[in-house]
Every structure is written in C-alpha cells, then in structure tokens.
A and B are shown apart, each in its own frame.
Chain A
Amino acid sequence: MIVQFICRAILLGVPLLYGSTGEIITEKSGHLNLGIPGIMYTGAISGVIGAFLYEHACGNDADKMNGILAILIPFLCAIIGAMLMGLVYSFLTVTLRANQNVTGLAITTFGIGIGNFFGGSLIKLTDSDMPSVALSKTSQFFCTKLPFADDLGWFGDIFLSHDFLTYLAIAIAIGTSFVLNRTRVGLNLRSVGENPATADAAGINVTKYRYLATCVGSAVAGLGGLQYVMAYANGVWSNNAFGDRGWMAIALVIFALWKPSIAIVGSLLFGALCNANNYIQGLGTETQELFKMLPYVVTIIVLVFTSMRKKREHQPPESLGLNYFREER
C-alpha cells in the first residue's frame, strides 16, 4: 500500500518535475514563461502525433515496430513541438520585447488549443467509440522496466520499476542544477536573469542566452507532457486530460526556490499531495475535493515565507518578468 502510494506519487510528480525544471531554466534567464501549460500540451500532442504516425506506418503491428524508433520518434517530436512554441515565445518577448505575462498566457491558450485540436482530429481519424487515442504499443516501449526490478521487492518497485523518462527527468534536474551552479554557462545565465545590463556590459550575449534558455526550457517541459501521456496515461490521449498540471509545475518552481534539486523532492511531495486523497481511509468525495487544493496552499505558504524572510539566495531572479533593451536606462 505504501509502496503503491509512493510509486503513484512518483508517476504523478514526474510531469511536474519536467515542467518545473524547464521553467526554472527559463526563469533563470529572466523570463517568466506563463506559456508552460500550453507548451506541455504541445509537447504531448507532438509526441502523440509522432507515435501515431509511426504505429500506422508499421501497420499497427507491434512485432514490426523497432523499439528504438518507437521511442525516438515521439521523443524528438515532443522536443521539436515544444521548442517551436518556446521559439515563438522568445521571438515575441526577447526580440520584439512584448509583455511576458500577456505573451505567455496567449501561448497557453494557443498551445492548449493546438493540443485539443490535433488530439480531437486524431480521435476522429481512429473512428473509435471512445473519445481518446490509444497508443498502447508505443507506451509499452516507453514503460519497459529493468528486467530485475521485480525480483527486488519493495526496493525494486520504488526505485527501479519506472519508465525511462522518469530517470531522465531526475538526470535532467540534477544536470541543470550542476550547470546552473558549477559552470560558466550557468553563471552567465544567472547573471543575465539577475541584471542583464551588467551581463551585457561584461560581454555576455543577453539575447542569445535568453533565446537558448527559453527554447531548452520549453523542450524539457514538453517532455513532461510526453511522459504524462506515455507513462501515466498508458499511451491514451484524451482531450483536456492533462488538466492544470502546467500551472502546478509553475507552482513547483516557487516551491523549489528556483533550484532543480529541490524540485525533485518537491515534485514527489506534490505528486503525493495530489494523490493523498485516494489513500486516506474514509474520505468522502467532497473532502477529496478540498484535499486537491493542498499543493496550491503549500505553494502559497512557501511563497509568503520566502518573501518574508528575504534571504537573498531564496529570491526569484532579480529581473524576472522584465525585458531587456540596451538603450533603456
């Protein structure tokens, strides 16, 4: 029961971890990308389209499918789709210096629209009775477990039984943490987010860093959408199923104090909070609804506490949400 609970929490937490790692990379460059929910939708649907086309090309026959291709095609599609959205966002906010909040929200509207539109169209193509697209064969490739995971009891279940995207998420988060704090690229990126004018004066190409951070961040977030469809939903896409996980990923960024390493633990906690209502005995459905607000309440508490304590290393990047124009004083 406890093992199952933890596994479930991990499964629920991983899309959030992807989303928030991506958002942290973007926010470290000074861009508050509120388009993350839309970008995660786009990543998910791009992966679904890729997988759908590949399954069809193989004539829906699992034996003909090549495991590596079955994973690689959706994977790359998700990255490309999400990156394109990130590119639109960064073109508007970096080059055209449009308002970040408005652009981000428009991207979210647009991205969710794209997800549901193409999702709905695929559903119509399959002619099934269910309002969903099932890609269970691709999902099986994604969810291939380590062969010896089942032999190790609870240890294997908790640590070794997940799909590879879960491990990739943790690797990306740790990698991001390392790059941000231990390398020159990370230092430059942080300086761009803290004070772009100073960074510019030091010879750092602010535009380049902001574009790259937004696009890479979007690609990472897009993988979160893919993980949701392939692992959590077992390859079943149905419209609006992804829900408001994108906003929760943004909440997780605050919770993690802009640190990917804390986001790993945070995503597990959020996953557990989202799921706790199913595991506490004797809860009525109405109380379960109240339980679902827990992640948001926790985020607000963290947000308030960090702003009250005013510890310098816990603050958001100084110029978060502000566009940089060199000639402006």
Chain B
Amino acid sequence: MTTKQTVKSHREPLFHVAKRDDMAWWQAWLIRAVTIILSVVAVGVISMMLTEKSLFETFEIMYRGVFGRIETGSTVMLWKYLQEIAILLCLALALTPAFKMKFWNCGAEGQALMGGFAAMICMIELGGKVPDGALIAIIAVASMLTGALWGLVPAVFKAYFNTNETLFTLMMNYIATQIIAYYVYIKGGGSNIIQPVTHGNLPVIGTNRYLVNILIVAVLTVIMFVYLKYSKHGYEINVVGESQNTARYIGINVKKVIIRTMIISGAVCGIAGMLLVAGTDHTINTKTVGGQGFTAIMISWLGQFNPFIMVIMTAIVIFLRLGTAKVADTCLLNASFADIAVGIVILCVVGCEFFIRYTFKFRHKKKEETV
C-alpha cells in the first residue's frame, strides 16, 4: 500500500510497495511451502486449543483420518484418499484452460452435475438393453456433451455480447441443481433417493473400485499439461488471457478460442460427473458434487494453472479436509471444522502471493529528492 504523499510534507513514506518479477522460482515456492506449513500448523494449534490434545496427537489423528491404520495392512483409507484427490483434481483440471484465458468459470459444479445427470439417464434408460461395454462408451460421450453444453451457453454469450461469465456460470449451477432435484424426485418415486444402478458402471480393475477413476484422472492430468504447454490451442489460450487485443492483432479468432476452450472445460467437468456417477456412487442427487466445483476453482488458482502442481495442492487440501474431519469426529467437534481449516489455509496461501509478486522498498535517507 503506497501511502499518500501530501503536498505539505516532502517526507517520503517509510516504505513503498513495488512490483517484482525477478524472484527465482525456488524462492517463490519456498515462500508458498513455508506458508502452507505454517497455516497447517496454525490449524493444528487451533484444533489443539479446542480439543485439549497435544499438537503431536492432533496431527496423529489427522494422519489416521487420511491414511487409516497402515500398520494393519488395510489400504481402504488410502484408496479413498486417492479417489477424493482424483475427483477434485479432475474438476480443477477442467477449470484451468478457462482460467488461463481469464474466463472465470465458476460453474464447474453445474457442469459436473449435468455430466453426471447424462450418465445417470443413460444408466437408467439404456441399462440392460445395450451391452455394458457399449453403454459405458455412450455414457462417456453423453456426459462430455452435456457438460460441454452447460459450459457452452455462457461462453457464447461471453464471446458475442461480453456477458459477465462469473455470474452467468454461477447461476447455471443452480439451474442444474434444480433439474437434478426434479429428476431425482421423478425417478426416486417421491423418496428423493435413486437406488444405485448396476448397469453401465465403470469396470473394477483388480479388487479396487476406485482405480479406474484414478487412472483416468492421471491420464487427463498429463494430457492437460501437454495441451496447455505444447499445443497451438494452449498458446492461443495464453495469448487471449494476456491480452485480447494482442490476440486479435496476431490473427487469433478470440470468439472461437473462448467458445472452444469452454467446450473443453465443460466436457472435462462432464467427465468428473461421469466418474462420480458411473464410477463411484452409481446414483445421483443434488449433493453429488458437494461444492467441490468451488474448491476446484481455488485449487486451480493455487496450482498456478500447472496440472502437476495442482496434484500437490489437491493432495494437501484433501488431506486437511479428511484429517480435520477425523479430528472433529474423534474429539466430538462439529464436522464443519474441516471447512474452517481449508478456508484458513487457502486464505493464507492466497495472501502469501503478495510477497512473491511485490517487494518493499524502504526509504533511503541519502536519496536525492526528485519531483
């Protein structure tokens, strides 16, 4: 914050803030890592005060909440952890191309729900009539198409009329939610629960039912990295994000890029919906995505739009969420403690960016006064 220099006094303020772009990448990551560690410790201290357990015990409970009792040889919790990472990461991956383009897609929630909705319809209507292999292919296509459609609508209006996309995509979330509520009510026969469908489930590899989801998202991570970094599309997204005028000047069709990128973004959200419905729950309700579409926005941003860093960020956030939920459970706190913990850490990391992008310049006594 630059303090205002009044006309009367010619004293320079004690320090002023200046922009910097010369920070080495390792310094920047050191700052982020230290912030994350400090904020996680802060969360630990807060839970320590609430639970009257020692800091070490608190973290031990958190660890157990995430990984379970590894020493007994059970890997159930670990797989659950990886599954949660996969879903959140998939949503964050979906948002990244849009964000790089400075298109604030806040609609991952709705796009994923609609993807899951398409999967659910296919599973219910076609289940048993089509061989399961073909059904899975149909589900994949249908989910991606509906997800893409949900992303396409705001994109078209953004491209042609410059309609505010943050607010448009936000509203689309609730329309999706109500459509699901309607559908669940009809299919659930008034009970608001659709019984799990056995047709069109993603295959189980070996004994682990989450492995397919995890593999799909792992592949997707690599594809997204390559797409953003090495493809012509990725380059165009970058230029449009930096400056639309520059993009127009060098002959990029900005409208086309916006619409194309949002189709991709929506389609990947659709995949996340499919993984949730066909791969995990085998049913759907309005809470299937459970607010992760919003968390994904923060993940994508915290990961600097780099898919591999996003993996780490997702792992940290999910660790906190599961860990603090366990702490809350063990120590009879309210389960919303996990939300508070995730909120604190994200706010700290968002704040620490300041120290990476800006620097303090202190007043020099000897400096000549220049007007």
Quick check: A293 and B179 within 8 Å, CB to CB? yes
Interface size on A, residues (CB 8 A): 60
Quick check: B340 and A110 within 8 Å, CB to CB? yes
Quick check: A88 and B4 within 8 Å, CB to CB? no
B57 lies within 8 A of chain A by Cβ: no
B164 lies within 8 A of chain A by Cβ: yes
Quick check: A110 and B344 within 8 Å, CB to CB? yes
Which of A14-22, A101-109, A158-166, A173-181 is the contact stretch? Answer: A101-109
Give the distance in Å from the alpha carbon of A244 to the alpha carbon of B338 in the complex.
Answer: 19
Quick check: A110 and B168 within 8 Å, CB to CB? no
Q: A106 with B4: in contact, given A292-B178, A304-B157 (CB under 8 Å)?
A: no
Quick check: A92 and B334 within 8 Å, CB to CB? no
Give the distance in Å from the alpha carbon of A81 to the alpha carbon of B342 in the complex.
Answer: 20
What is the interface of chain A mostly: helix, strand, loop, or mixed?
A: helix
Quick check: A307 and B161 within 8 Å, CB to CB? yes
Chain A residue nearest to B355 (CB atoms) is A96
In which size bucket is the chain B interface? 35 or more
Quick check: A289 and B178 within 8 Å, CB to CB? yes
Quick check: B182 and A289 within 8 Å, CB to CB? yes
B 314-336 binary contact with A (CB < 8 Å = 1; else 0): 00000000000000000011111
Which of B58-66, B226-234, B277-285, B345-353 is the contact stretch? Answer: B345-353
Quick check: B350 and A303 within 8 Å, CB to CB? no
Give the distance in Å from the alpha carbon of A102 to the alpha carbon of B301 in the complex.
Answer: 7
Give the distance in Å from the alpha carbon of A99 to the alpha carbon of B353 in the complex.
Answer: 9
Chain B residues, Cβ within 8 Å of A304: 157, 161, 163, 168
Quick check: A303 and B346 within 8 Å, CB to CB? no
Chain A residues, Cβ within 8 Å of B72: none
Quick check: B339 and A326 within 8 Å, CB to CB? no
Give the distance in Å from the alpha carbon of A96 to the alpha carbon of B347 in the complex.
Answer: 11
Chain A residues, Cβ within 8 Å of B297: 101-102, 105
Which of B118-126, B135-143, B169-177 is the contact stretch? Answer: B169-177
B18 lies within 8 A of chain A by Cβ: yes
Quick check: B2 and A326 within 8 Å, CB to CB? yes
Chain B residues, Cβ within 8 Å of A126: none
Q: Which of A92, A94, A95, A205 contacts B347 (CB 8 A)?
A: A92
**Distance (whole angstroms) from the CB of B85 to the closest CB of chain A:** 18
Chain A residue nearest to B16 (CB atoms) is A327
Chain B residues, Cβ within 8 Å of A113: 336-343
Give the distance in Å from the alpha carbon of A251 to the alpha carbon of B344 in the complex.
Answer: 26
Chain A residue nearest to B343 (CB atoms) is A110
Chain B residue nearest to A38 (CB atoms) is B343
B167 lies within 8 A of chain A by Cβ: yes
A297 lies within 8 A of chain B by Cβ: yes
Chain B residues, Cβ within 8 Å of A112: 336, 339
A114 lies within 8 A of chain B by Cβ: yes
**Distance (whole angstroms) from the CB of A6 to the closest CB of chain B:** 24
Give the distance in Å from the alpha carbon of A300 to the alpha carbon of B357 in the complex.
Answer: 36
Give the distance in Å from the alpha carbon of A328 to the alpha carbon of B170 in the complex.
Answer: 30
* B156-199 residues at the A interface, CB under 8 angstroms: 157, 161-164, 166-168, 170-172, 174-175, 178-179, 181-182, 185-186, 190
Quick check: B347 and A88 within 8 Å, CB to CB? yes
Give the distance in Å from the alpha carbon of A287 to the alpha carbon of B353 in the complex.
Answer: 47
Q: A106 with B190: in contact, given A32-B166, A304-B157 (CB under 8 Å)?
A: no
8 nearest A-B pairs in the assembled complex, by CB-CB distance: A110-B343, A113-B339, A120-B334, A116-B336, A293-B178, A96-B354, A113-B340, A307-B163
What residues make up the interface of A, taking CB atoms closer than 8 Å to B? 32, 34, 88, 91-92, 94-99, 101-103, 105-117, 119-121, 124, 205, 207, 239, 244, 247, 250-251, 254, 285-287, 289-290, 292-293, 296-297, 299-300, 303-304, 307-308, 316, 321, 325-328
Q: What are 30 A-B contacts with C-beta separation under 8 Å?
A: A34-B106, A34-B166, A92-B351, A96-B353, A96-B354, A101-B104, A102-B297, A102-B298, A102-B350, A103-B347, A105-B294, A108-B294, A109-B294, A113-B336, A205-B4, A239-B334, A244-B174, A250-B170, A251-B167, A251-B171, A287-B182, A289-B181, A289-B182, A292-B181, A297-B175, A300-B171, A300-B172, A303-B168, A303-B171, A307-B157
